[in-house]
Structure 1
Amino acid sequence: MKRLTLTRFMIEEQRRSGVLRPELRLLIETVARACKTISHSIGKGALGEVLGSQGTDNVQGEVQKKLDVIANELLLEANEWGGHLAAMASEEMETLHRIPNRYPKGEYLLLFDPIDGSSNIDVGLSVGTIFSVLRAPVSASGREVTEQDFMQPGREQVAAGYAIYGPQTLLVLSLGTGVYEFTLDREVGAWLMTDGPLQIPAGNCEFAINSARHKQWSPAITRYIDERLAGEEGPCGTDYNMRWTASMVADVHRILKRGGIFLYPADHRSPGKARLRLMYEANPMAFLVEQAGGAANDGYGRILDVKPVGLHQRVGVILGDKTEVETVAAYGREMAEPVKA
């Protein structure tokens, strides 16, 4: 079976839809090449001295793994010289990264989480890279890009995707015309399409949540989970499976392929306190899930409608099967309070 390469897929999409600009295609190809290099580094593990802590904290006060720093530098170096970007922003950096003056500037903004689930690195579990692409505002032409230029709701994304480094290295991508999966053929170094357009299977009785944080859940989240844990004897009348890998990429990928729902609620006791970042995690994943026929909610409304107020803003996340996401939202309305997710 002859499979489409990532490059050919994007060229054909460019011809078919007319919405994919050549500059965006080249940007995605550059990100994909950087993900190949990251995959190679992860594959070496201890032999490549990429495991363990860096001994520093990132802007969020989290301990950085060596690979967090390595992957961040790889993505910066790969993307700053191509002429497709006006600026970049990363979960690992306090502020934006402007394109050096020695390189031409482009019309796009790139945001990324270089290594999602980095706590899994040292124990050989799946991790990933998440990325999001926005257009730079027209007003940014002829001046230096600012953080404010990134403050666009997620519905303005022109592309989003992730690489997952597991038993295979996969690239999952949406250009706003569906979600497609590519597998890295290590023998030839090419990304080959292996699935798509993806549609989240409906009706799978499976959820992903970190149950150790149950004290933070709102009454609506607690009700939803308790009913599913009750199994056949409960109101759902069926047994549910729970999965949790501590890597959003791995958990969301499973939902895209098998169905179900992913929940990472904000702390109900402290409004506004949440774990996941809007710009680097929630927005790109919400974009992909909606493109695959699912829904993504922050507990108050659609994630892609949230107007950012800062590069490192955090939000609650409930995404996956549209029916399940709506059930959680309905419980919140029924209990006369928003689900503080």
Structure 2
Amino acid sequence: MGQFPLTLSRFITQKQAAHPGATGEFSGLLTQIGLVGKLIAQDLRRAGLINILGTTGEINVQGETVKKLDEIANETFLKVFHHSGLVCALASEEMEKPVLLPENWPQAKYMLLFDPLDGSSNTDCNMPLGAVFSVVKPERKDRMPTADELARKGTEQVAAGYLLYGSSTMLVYTVGQGVHGFTLEPGIGEYLLSHEQIRIPARGKVYGTNEGHYHKWTAGTKKYVDYLKVTDTATGRPYSGRYSGCLVGDVHRILLEGGIYLYPGELDKPEGKLRLLYEANPLAWVVEEAGGRASTGTMRILDVEAKQLHQRVPLIIGSANDVRDAEEFIQDRREP
């Protein structure tokens, strides 16, 4: 009889056993993230049948129209973690200010930042969706953390990952010891280890970017994307374009198969669109832990100084050699 796949909870327990000082709160936190994924996946499966598609008519702090599923996903994260006792602060793309939970202090050792539903433009057409999360610790142990303390460099994360809702539901995470992926088996309601120690190829054959913004890009970005389309057998070009409108889905493909994803800065918006703390930082750490690279085009994502909760940043992420090539073009250090 073949060995039964490891469940998420069992895998976490085994890893925890290797650290005698572990107390279990961190294991509980990852398990609760898995629960959030189960609840949201259940809503997504029935979305077209229970009137939760479309918009709420409201605009969020990012200036974006709020989809009903955005609101539901955000509330799911809040409810699960408010009652878990595992976190003392929560910050979301959908909320202008974080939620502080002094009732959980000082027992709660973690703070959670998240994008509750990535790719929400896909909600009404049954396309891939995701969620991204980042976990940090309070800077001080002698008092309840303040809202400002959630703005931290990516190197200060203690866990990061994402949920992917596609043909199957997956949870992918890192704690700085490699990247592991779990697939939800709906028949038994458990996440099973399906991708252990994921490694991204050093170079890929696909690129993902919204080329509808081409006319807004800097000359260096244009030159790089044009370069990818030129036939050259020696360098494996042309690359194939793959873009779903879901950051998590596009990065997941590249994590497994190699390649590069770009959401670059633009001429009139050099700061980019994606959020540093709960999109770029967690995905950057996942990709780096798998052997890849993540950059603004001019510097490492994880080294960007965090100044505010909803700070934006350009993101160039994927196979290490592909990202290095992109950086050279963007910095005008290379011509096609």
**Superposition TM-score tier, normalisation by shorter sequence:** over 0.9
Q: For residues 188-245 of structure 1, give each alpha carbon's deviation from its aligned partner in whole angstroms, at most 9, with x where no partner exists.
A: 1101000120000233211001100012222221111111112248x94632101100
Which residue in the other structure is 1:196 paired with? 196
SS at match of 1:314: coil
Change (3 A) 1:43 1:97: same
- Contact 2:202/2:292 (CA < 8 Å) preserved in 1? no
Tell me by how many angstroms 1:54 deviates: 1.0
Which residue in the other structure is 1:245 paired with? 244
What amino acid maps onto 1:43 in structure 2? R
Which residue in the other structure is 1:116 paired with? 118
- Contact 2:293/2:318 (CA < 8 Å) preserved in 1? yes
Which residue in the other structure is 1:217 paired with? 217
Q: Provide the C-alpha distance between the structure 1 equivalents of 2:14 and 2:39, rounded to a whole number of angstroms.
A: 26
Q: Percent identity?
A: 39
TM normalised by structure 1 equals 0.93
Which residue in the other structure is 2:320 paired with? 322
Which residue in the other structure is 1:32 paired with? 34
Q: Provide the C-alpha distance between the structure 2 equivalents of 1:32 and 1:270, rounded to a whole number of angstroms.
A: 35
- Contact 1:96/1:146 (CA < 8 Å) preserved in 2? no
Which residue in the other structure is 2:329 paired with? 331
Tell me by how many angstroms 1:28 deviates: 1.0
- Contact 1:117/1:248 (CA < 8 Å) preserved in 2? yes
Which residue in the other structure is 1:166 paired with? 166
- Contact 1:204/1:259 (CA < 8 Å) preserved in 2? yes
- Contact 2:203/2:320 (CA < 8 Å) preserved in 1? no
Gaps of 5+ in 1: 337-341
TM normalised by structure 2 equals 0.94
RMSD: 1.8
Q: Provide the C-alpha distance between the structure 1 equivalents of 2:13 and 2:236, rounded to a whole number of angstroms.
A: 48
- Contact 1:81/1:99 (CA < 8 Å) preserved in 2? no
Which residue in the other structure is 2:15 paired with? 13
SS at match of 1:9: helix
Q: For residues 305-332 of structure 1, give each alpha carbon's deviation from its aligned partner in whole angstroms, at most 9, with x where no partner exists.
A: 1111110000000010000111111223
SS at match of 2:199: coil
**Structure 1 residues 169-318: aligned runs within 5 Å:** 169-232=169-232, 236=235, 238-272=237-271, 274-318=272-316
What amino acid maps onto 2:65 in structure 1? V
Change (3 A) 1:236 1:24: same
Which residue in the other structure is 1:43 paired with? 45
Tell me by how many angstroms 1:104 deviates: 6.9
**Structure 1 residues 86-165: aligned runs within 5 Å:** 86-99=88-101, 101=103, 105-138=107-140, 141-143=142-144, 145-165=145-165
Return 149-158 or 113-122, whichever deviates more.
149-158
**Which consecutive segments of 4 or more residues in structure 1 shift more than 4 A?**
17-21, 102-105
Q: Provide the C-alpha distance between the structure 2 equivalents of 1:236 and 1:242, rounded to a whole number of angstroms.
A: 16
Gaps of 5+ in 2: none
Q: For residues 132-183 of structure 1, give each alpha carbon's deviation from its aligned partner in whole angstroms, at most 9, with x where no partner exists.
A: 10011115x323x322211210011111111111110111111111111101
SS at match of 2:46: helix
Q: For residues 236-274 of structure 1, give each alpha carbon's deviation from its aligned partner in whole angstroms, at most 9, with x where no partner exists.
A: 4632101100100000000011110000001133433x1
- Contact 1:81/1:104 (CA < 8 Å) preserved in 2? no
Q: For residues 78-112 of structure 1, give each alpha carbon's deviation from its aligned partner in whole angstroms, at most 9, with x where no partner exists.
A: 00122211101000000010116388751111001
Change (3 A) 1:61 1:256: same
Tell me by how many angstroms 1:20 deviates: 5.6
Q: Provide the C-alpha distance between the structure 1 equivalents of 2:105 and 2:148, rounded to a whole number of angstroms.
A: 22
- Contact 1:289/1:319 (CA < 8 Å) preserved in 2? yes
